[in-house]
Amino acid sequence: MVVLFLKKRNVSEWIADYIKEEGLSAKEIAFRLKIPEAKLKGGREESLSAEEFLALCSYLRIMPERIREELER
């Protein structure tokens, strides 16, 4: 399993925050993408796999580069 970490925050936390800020349903996204809902809630040790990350980027219409850039700030 590939784990994606950058700087102080990790990708999983960034995506969890994005889902919350956009008023999206983590439960619905988890169901549609077959990703454990807990991974989309943030504050967990368990990180997203590369497959899950790319599926989320596609579903949320976010370029992975955007996340990298924001995490590097």
Q: How far, in Å, CA of 47 to CA of 26, rounded?
A: 15
pLDDT in tens, 26-55: 999 999 999 999 889 877 667 788 999 999
pTM: 0.79
- Quote the pLDDT of residue 6: 41
- What are the start-end ranges of the H helices in 1-73? 11-21, 26-33, 50-60, 64-72
pLDDT > 90: percent of the chain: 55
At 44, the amino acid letter reads R
